[in-house]
Amino acid sequence: MERKNHSEGGTAVRAGWPWTGKTIRLASASPRRLALLQQVGIEPQVWPVIIDEHPRSGELAEHYVARMAQEKVRMALDPGADFALGADTAVVLNDTILGKPADAGQAHRMLTLLSGQRHQVLTGVALYRLHNRHGLTRVVATDVWFKELSTQDITTYIATGEPMDKAGAYGIQGIGAFMVRRIEGSFSGVVGLPLMETLAMLSELMED
């Protein structure tokens, strides 16, 4: 495992929250997770990491996303911040994890499978307080229903390039919203970081 170049920046959270004055390190290069944290007033240190993201043989999806989140955050425990945050998102259809497509053909196959179906989006979140290495891990599940997709729908969407870096080959916060009939659960969790649960974890660790 190795860590990519990272930003030593990161400013404290805005006043008014229990974690005011604390610095949070985000063990991710995801622009979506960064934007979600910024949405609630957090400007994290961005600390991209590289890990082996292959599921283990027979590994359940909820165990997989929890393990990925934990492995990411463990690579961001160096001094220089108050908290370290890692997250991982998987799209799951009939107990099968759909990762990020390797090419357009794989994206087409994934979207064809999801067409007209209900699937789950699981996001594992791991949050550690650095001074005592006390951590919490949660998995948040959201049900997502897709409309029936035509071949033209799928081909046109893939041509936008949006599916290529996203689990399950779609982005609910982007053009991919046209495929989503409804959801039950955390919208931000589908995007990549369930905000309500993450902030609740942060509040809990503040009591340490």
Tell me which residues are annotated as active site: 88
Determine the length of the chain. Answer: 208
What backbone torsions phi and psi does residue 9 show, to the nearest 5 degrees?
A: -70, -150
Q: Report the alpha-carbon distance of residue 110 to residue 100 in Å, rounded.
A: 9
Q: Report the alpha-carbon distance of residue 13 to residue 119 in Å, rounded.
A: 35
Q: Report the alpha-carbon distance of residue 48 to residue 7 in Å, rounded.
A: 9
CA angle 140, 198, 187 (to 5 degrees): 55
